[in-house]
Amino acid sequence: MLVGADSVYAATRLCYDLLPLNVGVLVYVLKKSAAKLPAGSVIALYDTEHQYDDDAKHLEYGGVSIRAQHFGGNNGLDLYRVIAGSTP
């Protein structure tokens, strides 16, 4: 699971709250990895400035476009699942 938030505190808190799941901060993964995000990966964005096009299934976050499907959310939290072949 990858998490993102506009504040370091919120992102760190999300990671802590989701333990013992395998959790990483999305911004760091996007900066460090040129590889494709694995299909089925879950992205949790909390109170962030992001854009999502439901028709094209594209999530824009941190200047990167990711093919993903929105599958839930509540109270500022949005959940997305990465679609196969998504390259950051």
**What's the pLDDT tens digit per position in 21-80?**
999 998 888 877 656 788 899 999 998 889 999 999 999 988 888 899 999 989 889 999
Residue 45 domain-assigned?
yes
Domain count, the chain: 1
Residue 54 domain-assigned?
yes
> Does residue 5 register a pLDDT over 90?
yes
- Residue 86 pLDDT: 58
Helices (H), 1-88: 8-18, 26-32
Residue 87 domain-assigned?
no
> HSE of 32 in the Cβ direction (CA atoms, 13 Å)?
6
Residue 88 domain-assigned?
no
Reported as a pLDDT band with limits 50, 70 and 90, residue 15 is: very high
DSSP 48-60: ---EEETTTTEEE
The model carries a pTM of 0.87
Host domain of residue 39: 2-82
Residue 50 domain-assigned?
yes
